[in-house]
Amino acid sequence: MAKRTIVSLPGDGIGKNVLEETIRVLDAAGFDAEYVEGDIGWEFWRSEGNPLPQRTIDLLGKHKVALFGAITSKPKDAAFEELAPELQEKGLVYSSPIVGLRQHFGLDICLRPCKSYIGNPLNFVKRGVGDVIEEPAVDVAIFRQNTEGLYGGVEWSDPPEKVYDALMTHPKFVKNFGDTPKEEISVSTRIFTKKATERILRAAFDHAKKYGYKSVTVCEKPNVIRETSGMMYKMAQQIQKEEYPNIELWNTNIDAQMMWLTKNPETYGVIVAGNMFGDIVSDGFAGLIGGLGFACSAQFNPDSGVAVFEPTHGSAPKYADYEISIVNPIAMIESACMMLDFINENGIAANIRKAVAEVISEGKVRTYDMMKMRGRADVVDKGAASTTQMADAVIAKL
Ligand code: NAI
Ligand code: MG
């Protein structure tokens, strides 16, 4: 098979460490690829005033598939102060390069699988009947709409007259907020479009069908947020009825779902939600399977095939300067496995996942998070595996 070209976007901090180790694992697993590195992150904000240079966008446009580590972002004042002096007068405003990639390439589907590994000491456990300790096997795939809803950025404080006037046409606005001075009002909108809603629902059902999940759960709040959540659920009912009659459609409210999460997490299969609720429910499930060291994700556009695979965690700046990197590379390795699935290298993905599973179940090699240690430079002296040692252990199993 022709050699694949993969764009590597290490970014900042520990993003660099976990991506480097992951590429070693991919090589060892026999994935025949060439990696071209793209510039992204804080370094490029400081030196060029742009954390996502056009050349990086071009690179991804050309090669389509990227592995992404993590980036650092900082509040407005710090962003300005750290900008190269000659750029400070240019009125540049920092904006997240991840959001930039998402918008530029229309990466509207976000997938965050949460599957527990047997023997992971961080797995969620609970007390069952007769005080027995139960460890539910979690295997959910969360589909989060990635471009709309509360994260769409359509918001105002002290809204412009036209917006205010429009709001005043709604009887509920008049009743509940009509007496409040305009300057004291902040509005964040939650816009759902039929097109994007249909795309995320379809992606969720397709995934359920392809990987044999028996149910798709719409996790929203249609009884209260009637228009947006209501639309999503109604569309889901129609799609299920017409195209996926063999997959059950469930409906949970986000608040109740956060409770069911610890009561019966093993019950759920595919979960689909809007942007905000998808973010919440995926963090909730990630906590059950080991947290940030294990949470992987994909963002993609099914039409163009542009896809970015990344761990959910950030750049953890406090660990970035350790002489020996201590962070867990599994979230990044898992993200790379999602990439392999995406490009139909399922066999290599399965081999890597099997190797990771063996390392975890053996329990001899564990990063500091798996040993419930506080993350400090001396954890390796105290018996925790470094990032490199964890990757080595996985490679040894391959
Ligand atoms: P973070 O995810 O970088 O770190 C939070 C804590 O989680 C760490 O201090 C560490 O204790 C733990 N942790 C993270 N990754 C781990 C790993 N692989 N293994 C073991 N433990 C791990 O989040 P934080 O501290 O809120 O943000 C740091 C920077 O990262 C900020 O500049 C933030 O804007 C950025 N960020 C970037 C993201 C991305 O690139 N997708 C996502 C989240 C935050
Ligand atoms: Mg989040």
> Is the CB of residue 260 less than 8 Å from the CB of residue 299?
no
Q: Which residues contact 80 (CB under 8 A, 6 or more apart)?
A: 88
The pLDDT score that the predictor gives to residue 176 is: 98
The pLDDT score that the predictor gives to residue 76 is: 87
Give the residue carrying structure tokens 């060029």. Answer: 48
Angle at 324 between CA 318 and CA 330, to 5 degrees: 80
Where does ligand 1 bind, in terms of residues with CB under 6 Å?
A: 18, 70-73, 98, 292-293, 310, 313-318, 327-328, 331, 369, 375
Residue 84 has pLDDT above 80, yes or no: yes
DSSP 8-class letter at 119: T
The pLDDT score that the predictor gives to residue 381 is: 97
Give the residue carrying structure tokens 């027995």. Answer: 132
Q: How confident is the model at residue 1 (pLDDT cuts 50, 70, 90)?
A: low
Among the listed residues 245, 217, 213, 247, the one whose alpha carbon sits nearest the alpha carbon of residue 229: 217
Ligand 1 atom at minimum distance from 319 CA: 9
- Taking the centre of ligand 2 as the mean of its atom positions, its distance from the CA of residue 283, in whole angstroms, is 7
Q: What is the pLDDT of residues 303-347, one digit of tens each?
A: 999 999 999 999 999 999 999 999 999 999 999 999 999 999 999
Q: What is the pLDDT of residues 240-268, one digit of tens each?
A: 999 999 999 999 999 999 999 999 999 99
Residue 214 and residue 148: Cα distance in Å, rounded? 27
Pocket probe mutation, ligand 1, options 292, 333, 367, max atoms within 8 Å of Cβ: 292
The pLDDT score that the predictor gives to residue 2 is: 67
Residue 219 has pLDDT above 80, yes or no: yes
Q: What is the pLDDT of residues 28-51, one digit of tens each?
A: 999 999 999 999 999 999 999 999
Q: Which residues pair with 217 in a beta bridge?
A: 250, 271
Among the listed residues 253, 196, 263, the one whose alpha carbon sits nearest the alpha carbon of residue 219: 253
> Is the CB of residue 336 less than 8 Å from the CB of residue 298?
no
The pLDDT score that the predictor gives to residue 57 is: 98
Q: What is the pLDDT of residues 131-156, one digit of tens each?
A: 999 999 999 999 999 999 998 889 99
Average pLDDT for 371-386: 97
- Taking the centre of ligand 2 as the mean of its atom positions, its distance from the CA of residue 312, in whole angstroms, is 7
Give the residue carrying structure tokens 């976000």. Answer: 110
Three-state DSSP class for 10? strand
Q: Whose CA is nearest to atom 6 of ligand 1?
A: 316
**CA 177, chain centre distance (Å):** 36
pTM value? Answer: 0.95
Annotation: CATH topology of 124-151+192-288: Isopropylmalate Dehydrogenase (3.40.718)
Distances in whole angstroms, Cα of residue 164 to Cα of each of 168, 175, 392, 396? 6, 14, 59, 63
Ligand 1 atom at minimum distance from 69 CA: 40
Domain range summary for the chain, segments of one domain joined by +: 1-108+303-398, 124-151+192-288, 155-188
Q: Whose CA is nearest to atom 30 of ligand 1?
A: 314
Q: Tell me the torsion sign for CA atoms 156, 157, 160, 166.
A: positive
Q: What is the mean pLDDT of the chain?
A: 97
Q: Do domains 1-108+303-398 and 124-151+192-288 have the same CATH topology?
A: yes
Nearest ligand by distance to the CA of 278: 2
CATH number of 1-108+303-398: 3.40.718.10
The percent of residues in the chain predicted with pLDDT above 70, rounded, is 99
Q: Whose CA is nearest to atom 5 of ligand 1?
A: 316
- Taking the centre of ligand 2 as the mean of its atom positions, its distance from the CA of residue 130, in whole angstroms, is 37
For the record, the structure tokens of 337 come out as: 């496995």
